[in-house]
Amino acid sequence: MQQKKLCFLAIFYLVLFSMKTAAAAGEAEFYLEPMIVTAARYDNSAGKPGYYKVDEKKLENGNYDNALDVIKQLPGVTLMARGASGGMNAYSKILLNGSDRYLVIIDGVRSNWNGSSYNDFDFSVLPAGMLESVEVLSSAAGSVYGNAAKGGVIRITTKKAVEGVKTSINLETGSYGREQENILHLGKSGEWSWSVYARKSIMGDYSSARQSIPSYENVENAGIKLTKAWGETADLTLSYRVFSGRYKSKIFNYKNTEPDETKPPKLVKNIFMTDARKTEDNLTLEYERKFSDTENNIVGIYRRSSNAAYDRSLNVERPWLLDLRTEGFFDRYSKQWHPKHTLTGGVEYYKDQVLDYQDLAAKYSDGTVISKAVYLQDVWQLADSVKAVGSLRQDWNSYAGSKLSPALSLEYQPSEKVLYTLAYTEYFAPPKQLQIFSPDYGDEALKPEEGRVYEAGLTYVPDESSSLKINVFHRDAADVIAVDISLPKYLRRYANIAHEKATGFTVSASKLFSEKWRSLVAYTQTKVDTERKNSSPVSTMIPHGELLLDLMYEYDKYSVLLQGRGVFDQANGRGENRFANNNYWVWNASLNYKLQKNTRLYVKVNNIFNQFYSNWDNESGGFLGFDEWYAEPGRNYQIGINYSF
């Protein structure tokens, strides 16, 4: 095995060195059409099955609060949230194509958190006003982006200045004592460009369709992105984001009532209100060099930190603290060395640290996991209608060992109207830090989850105004990590509990009826079978079917976006009483009116028909009733004004 790794590394660096050497020589044997393919800017995705996007126009018309609000409107996405209260206390989590293992890419940089066992990335810390687009890509994109794209890739692009200077101010009020202020400033002058944003949001107790639920959040965001360009050949970008939040919500723990320490504990359920806080900061420096129209290189370094804690409450002392830090760098090089071949190669390194962890039972510090990888990808245009993308990725993890993961995808386009795709991907998902180090429920002997993803798709475009997409996947995973609930509560730990098979599909159709009307319909169905039933994998949260409907209307000074989400058999055959409602529809509508060219008024109504529903079941967390915590907000309103100058 070691010889194979060394052989792969030798070939990799030989190819990468020869690519860079050829570039330095400045010789051109072929006339090459402009075609840049890198991990950060690998595109031509729009027409592919399994690819979905929320663009800047839809972001504006939808008046979303943050990236979490945006992503949950995309096909294949399942939201796991214990109601709307308390930010981190709500344990909001995204599942993509039935998996909690996916990659988050922000402006070309891997942004996953690996310390927490329940939250790969907190999308609520990204204000929607700073977003240019949000995209979902299939698992096949993960070879270059990272090692754990079991469910796929979520790619987020933030706004940047094109020319001149523009400032946008947004003020909003609404239900539940909602107050929100946003400011975004974009500018470009000569070789310098910049973006600056700040946001403050406050919300109090909210109401489900049945009753009021105690809650409070007060969050602040700020960020700056500064770019220095050297003509059209190179640019250096520094970006910095900060987030701070204070929360209040209902939480729970288990209290030991057994005074004799030699006997097994007697655990009773303890429910109480508590204050919480969370801070994050993110610093990234990227340098991109464009050697020619067919060759470029991106190098970056980054550092992220997150600190979350429950404060001591009036009713009970419950110290809890999680302090994380991630540092890393990457180097990606891409060159179209032949009219039919584009090679992309790269290296990446990152160090995940739990600096401090405390809870009632135990504490620890300095839990460190180091990950390294090299990869090589070739995009090969076999014929005018056939393209193949092959890649190899070698990963090393300081706890989970190493793996060489191949991936191959084929595209066949017999005409301008039809595209067929096939893909095979292997992935490697090491355990997260708390799953390894936690004295309560961790296990340093955990093995990495490994698996294979098979995908097939079809895109049919009968005319310029219509498109149909079908994407099917099957996933086979070994050593899935989840809580072993066959043990007594005080002994439960994470374990490699199961072999997992998942199958799903998404069918979507979009139609542009006229310049005024456009629509999207998407149906997703997912089935996850776990070999061992006495475990608690995320598959218990995946509905059998989900239907998304979007209808957008634009005319003169008006625009309207109507969005509906229908959930069918949310318990997925596990019993109708697990969720607040097993079958339901939720409808949101956003109305915009332009008072002037630079002034826009908007009104948004969420959950128009006051549907009672939840995104969390009543067994995974234990015992809090839907009326107490789990239920999502009922009908609520947002009213705002946006002014640009």
Find out whether 414 and 426 touch, Cβ atoms under 8 Å.
Answer: no
Whether 35 shows a pLDDT value over 50: the answer reads no
DSSP 576-636: GGGSS-SSEEEEEEEEEEEEETTEEEEEEEESTT----BSS-TTTS-S--IIIIIBPP-SE
Tell me yes or no: is domain 2-644 CATH 1.20.120.330: no
Mean pLDDT of the chain: 83
Residue pointed to by tokens 């072999």:
499
Domain coordinates of the chain in residue numbers?
Answer: 2-644
Whether 40 shows a pLDDT value over 50: the answer reads no
pLDDT tens-digit map of 140-161: 766 677 667 888 889 999 998 8
pLDDT for residue 572:
78
Residue pointed to by tokens 């032949």:
338
Q: What number is the average pLDDT over the span 197-217?
A: 90
Among the residue ranges 7-11, 436-440, 562-566, the one predicted with the least confidence is: 7-11
Residue 31, phi then psi, degrees to nearest 5 = -85, 120
Band the pLDDT of 234: cuts 50, 70, 90. Answer: very high
pLDDT for residue 9:
46
Q: What number is the average pLDDT over the span 75-94?
A: 70
pLDDT for residue 489:
66
Highest mean pLDDT range out of 135-149, 222-236, 301-315, 355-369? 222-236
SS3 sequence of 430-498: CCCHHHHHCCCCCCCCCCCEEEEEEEEEEEEEEECCEEEEEEEEEEEEEEEEEECCCCCHHHCCEEEEE
Among the residue ranges 379-383, 432-436, 635-639, the one predicted with the least confidence is: 432-436
Q: pLDDT higher for 492 or 340? A: 340
Whether 561 shows a pLDDT value over 90: the answer reads yes
pLDDT for residue 121:
81
pLDDT tens-digit map of 374-418: 999 999 999 999 999 999 999 999 989 999 999 999 999 999 999
Cα pseudo-dihedral 492, 493, 498, 502, rounded to 10: 100
Find out whether 560 and 589 touch, Cβ atoms under 8 Å.
Answer: yes
Whether 623 shows a pLDDT value over 80: the answer reads no
Residue 421, phi then psi, degrees to nearest 5 = -135, 145
Q: pLDDT higher for 321 or 462? A: 462
Among the residue ranges 81-85, 159-163, 272-276, the one predicted with the least confidence is: 81-85
pLDDT for residue 620:
53
Q: pLDDT higher for 435 or 191? A: 191
pLDDT tens-digit map of 331-360: 999 999 999 999 999 999 999 998 888 876
Q: pLDDT higher for 508 or 7? A: 508
pLDDT for residue 251:
65
Q: What number is the average pLDDT over the span 99-103?
A: 86
Q: pLDDT higher for 501 or 627? A: 501
- CA distances, 359 to each of 259, 384, 394 (Å): 20, 60, 36
Please state, in angstroms and rounded to a whole number, the distance separating the CA atoms of residues 582 and 579: 6
Whether 4 shows a pLDDT value over 70: the answer reads no
Q: pLDDT higher for 36 or 143? A: 143
pLDDT for residue 392:
93
Among the residue ranges 45-54, 222-231, 366-375, 589-598, the one predicted with the least confidence is: 45-54
Please state, in angstroms and rounded to a whole number, the distance separating the CA atoms of residues 98 and 572: 12
pLDDT tens-digit map of 511-556: 999 889 999 999 999 988 876 655 555 666 788 999 999 999 999 9
pLDDT tens-digit map of 46-80: 678 888 999 888 999 999 999 989 998 899 998 88
pLDDT for residue 533:
54
Residue 139, phi then psi, degrees to nearest 5 = -60, -30
Band the pLDDT of 88: cuts 50, 70, 90. Answer: low
Please state, in angstroms and rounded to a whole number, the distance separating the CA atoms of residues 580 and 573: 15
pLDDT for residue 26:
39
DSSP 350-388: EEEEEEEEE-SS-EE--EEEEEEEEEEEEEEEEETTEEE
Among the residue ranges 11-20, 120-129, 214-223, 606-615, the one predicted with the least confidence is: 11-20
- pTM for the complete prediction? 0.86
pLDDT for residue 108:
87
Whether 361 shows a pLDDT value over 80: the answer reads no
Band the pLDDT of 253: cuts 50, 70, 90. Answer: low
What is the gyration radius of the CA atoms in the chain, in angstroms? 25
pLDDT tens-digit map of 527-539: 888 766 555 556 6
pLDDT for residue 182:
95
